[in-house]
Structure 1
């Protein structure tokens, strides 16, 4: 799950966008693993995933040869493995950017919603850098990026209806069932919705009084005696 502060920010932006907070929290958690940021050389950066097959198709022949030799590109999805640690994924991105920066940034899925940089023009950003900067700006920026993709891809109705199968098919592709995306989103939604609807704890009762004399609980009286 997200930290309390991150969950609060996501809820706030969801309300501004008129989206049920628990639905957006559920999608963001499953896509990001419940982690909004990673520490990279002292910087706070969004979580990323590098896609070597995207990189491969965006390179010139000479750069493609260099990238394949460096094991940063492949014509087949999944052949370029992502390191487990985010700091190593960012190092991979830097190596790819040294070959072709624009292609490298387009080949990364960014932030809470894991939106591909390659979609920058389709989503209305001025450049891939503008999309990346949105993700790097903070939790709110990452949520806006994710929400923009959901709206543009026509997935907002499925999300509002909490039709997790339809949403996962559109968001994660036809292989969504293999990773149980729909089931995991439904489980995460139920958890966040339960948290949102839990009743506030009742305040402690006021000290009672008998004939106008306040009765102080024994533990409070003992505490006062110890302070003297």
Structure 2
């Protein structure tokens, strides 16, 4: 995909990040989908994507209504569809810039890294226009902007340790696994490296990209330790920042990974040895709420318990004793919930007690 000159640019940039060139090549490959430039009116320009919900927020309030009526802004992400061609996208950008230039350029993602213009200040540029000019300066400019983002948002360490899930969670957001960004990056890395990806030293530990019961427990303990954090079961950038802050205060290597030493240091914040901090009550599990349509705990008669337990075993993969215990706990009062919905609720309960640690 890359020319010899482009590979040289990437190698130099990778050196500043402290990662392998193959790792950075893989990220560029996946993020750009192989499209380095767009040709618009005979000029090579960086590829852009319009984000109308950004423009809705950033445009001058006096012009917001005009922007909405012109189809340039929408309060909802995805509310303004991107034209298929880059030429049409640049035309849309020009229309928006006529209303509010800074807001318009801040509402686009730019170049091979698809970095939002709104990050110009964080990335060290004097203005959004300066950032855009850097992207327009050529391949090296686009790589520079992307690497600034990776550095400023603390993702270089994930690249260095081949933690593809962690990197994808930080770069692509909570839905990274749904779209397989981590596996795409790993595959591209192995292609450029010419060998299998080594296992990440953080494998099996709680880190960026992990989610589930153990992450909620970690977050609850961090909150008790005084870290400002939301207990949501998603190990994202804010949880990584909280882990690093706790590690620094505890004189532990601040890598943002909740390994054995960090978890051991957090044990003093437990109320008791058998406590499960962060556990979700059954009535708050989304699948239970869906199954009962907000009606509280799942209700069923005892005659259905064995049927539901057996079905849960076959459909969710849990063992029979666990299924029997959970289905028993879901029984209350009278009335019958269909076995299918009951199993769905059981599946939600089981899932709420599991942890996905991410894959390297």
TM-score by shorter chain over 0.5: yes
Aligned pairs for 1:4-153 (under 5 A) are 4-5=3-4, 7-17=6-16, 18-153=18-153
Aligned counterparts of 1:10 and 1:32: Cα–Cα separation in 2: 16
- CA shift in 2, pair 1:5/1:72, >3 Å: farther
Deviation of residue 19 (structure 1)? 3.2
CA deviations on 1:69-108 (whole Å, 9 max, x unpaired) are: 1111101101111112111111111111111110000011
Aligned counterparts of 1:60 and 1:129: Cα–Cα separation in 2: 17
CA contact (8 A) 1:10 1:25 kept: no
Runs of 5+ in structure 2 lacking a partner?
Answer: 196-360
Map of 1:188 onto structure 2: 188
Aligned counterparts of 1:52 and 1:5: Cα–Cα separation in 2: 37
TM-score, normalised relative to structure 2: 0.52
Aligned residues: 194
Map of 1:166 onto structure 2: 166
TM-score, normalised relative to structure 1: 0.80
Aligned counterparts of 1:164 and 1:108: Cα–Cα separation in 2: 26
SS at match of 2:125: coil
Map of 2:248 onto structure 1: none
Instruction: Quote the RMSD (CA, aligned, Å).
Output: 1.6
CA contact (8 A) 2:158 2:166 kept: yes
Structure 1 segments of 4+ aligned residues over 6 angstroms from their partners:
none
**Which of structures 1 and 2 has the larger relative contact order (alpha carbons within 8 angstroms, sep 6+)?**
1
CA deviations on 1:89-134 (whole Å, 9 max, x unpaired) are: 1111111111111000001111111111101111111000111111
CA contact (8 A) 1:6 1:36 kept: no
Aligned counterparts of 1:84 and 1:33: Cα–Cα separation in 2: 15
CA contact (8 A) 2:107 2:118 kept: yes
SS at match of 2:76: coil
Runs of 5+ in structure 1 lacking a partner?
Answer: 196-228
- CA shift in 2, pair 1:7/1:188, >3 Å: farther
- CA shift in 2, pair 1:70/1:4, >3 Å: same
Aligned counterparts of 1:40 and 1:9: Cα–Cα separation in 2: 26
